[in-house]
Structure 1
């Protein structure tokens, strides 16, 4: 009975990750409890204060962010910017090593004040002190390795400023989900950016994001089929052969 309960609990635990899209498309991640939503709901401390000039009836110029030529770049907590991810990288590494070593040692004492002859009488038949020690060793090792990688990724995602650090650096976080039939594609971007690196179009490229973390994956029925079973993953981790 105990074994049956343990087996049923193991089956239920392995199916927890797939109950969300069992016979239906995977559900979207709720946005109201996300970090981005909390940042936009909390105004936080003002980043800077600008005294708006008095409005002149005949003037088209207004020194604020809503004007025609105003600076609309994200600068404070809750603002939104566009992250442009264009990764096209190639890497190729080749390494070859070879090592060889050999050694030979021999010590013979056929005549040493008659001592070997006296010892030979006490030794078993066939044993002699004439060739006392003879050692030999040889070792040879070689290795050859090669690494080749090719990555290409082009994406655009909107990110929210979740915090403004004391030195003025902006902490951003963005997520995007697209569902096609029974497969959900997820994109997550986090990192730190400088306000001066944000372009006039309110965009920033990924190579200007410090501690950038980009995750591009998905969940759904196709992903489940591509992943090995939990039992096989545990066996690969435990078995030493």
Structure 2
């Protein structure tokens, strides 16, 4: 009884929290608490620009990041790059299995020194040793299965380098939120990339991100309507049928 009472109290509290959001647009996630903000404020800092460096960087052929032809690709903690997500996957799997088996067996004694005829006279009417026993069996099995998946997603999102690992690999994370009326669309991308895979346009495609985690969803009135109620979710977990 105590456990049931605690469960009901928890459900009631969650319901009260949902009532507080009635008539309000969903809030954005604070940027100041994100890992991207921490990397950009606490990441590696570039050396200060001094007059002596200004004279040394006057050449057009300098490879520094501030020159005309310099490499401006992201490479330090806090730098920003663009992640291009163009997923167009299609998978089709079809399996078919069939099996059959049949068997029969028959035995009888038509003549053996006249013994079957003598036995037939003592057997019930219609019975005969000429057909002692007759058996047959058969079985069959068939199964079919198919899977069809088609997913297409085209997105672009800015990601921040969180840290540079000892082997030079970059750990990135990008998030984006767009609110339209009372619905917030959320996009999150995380993973690990090689600096040499970043293009001259400071972009990287999703298929070059190791351990990529891409989340595309939303929260708000439409998403809330599509989800089952709290009581139904609790009942689905507890009820054994």
TM-score range, shorter chain: 0.7 to 0.9
**Aligned-residue offset at 1:188:** 0.3
On the 8 A contact 2:174/2:189 being kept in 1, the answer is yes
> Per the alignment, in what secondary structure is the counterpart of residue 32 of structure 1?
helix
Q: Write the distance in 2 (CA, Å) between the matches of 1:42 and 1:205.
A: 27
On the 8 A contact 1:191/1:210 being kept in 2, the answer is yes
Q: Point out the structure with max Rg over C-alpha.
A: 2
Determine the structure 1 residue equivalent to 2:79: 79
**Aligned-residue offset at 1:98:** 1.6
Give the TM-score, by structure 2 length.
Answer: 0.75
Higher deviation after alignment, 56-65 or 176-185:
56-65
Mapping of residues 36-47 of structure 1, within 5 Å: 36-44=36-44
On the 8 A contact 2:11/2:231 being kept in 1, the answer is no
Structure 2 stretches of 5 or more lacking a match? 109-128
Higher deviation after alignment, 200-209 or 19-28:
19-28
- Does 2:192 match 1:192? yes
Q: Deviations over 1:138-163 (max 9, x none)?
A: 44322111211111111110101112
- Does 2:217 match 1:209? no
Give the TM-score, by structure 1 length.
Answer: 0.75
Distance 1:89 1:157, change over 3 A: same
Q: Deviations over 1:61-118 (max 9, x none)?
A: 344211111111010111110001111222222222122234567899xxxxxxxxxx
Q: Deviations over 1:181-236 (max 9, x none)?
A: 11111000001111000011110011111111110000111101111223333444
> Per the alignment, in what secondary structure is the counterpart of residue 66 of structure 2?
coil
On the 8 A contact 1:21/1:220 being kept in 2, the answer is no
Structure 1 stretches of 5 or more lacking a match? 109-129
**Aligned-residue offset at 1:239:** 5.1
On the 8 A contact 1:193/1:208 being kept in 2, the answer is yes
Q: Write the distance in 2 (CA, Å) between the matches of 1:101 and 1:139.
A: 5
Two-structure CA RMSD over aligned residues (Å): 3.9
Tell me the number of residue pairs that the alignment of Structure 1 and Structure 2 aligns.
225
Q: Which structure dedicates a bigger proportion of its chain to helix?
A: 2
Q: Write the distance in 1 (CA, Å) between the matches of 2:202 and 2:57.
A: 30
**Aligned-residue offset at 1:5:** 4.9
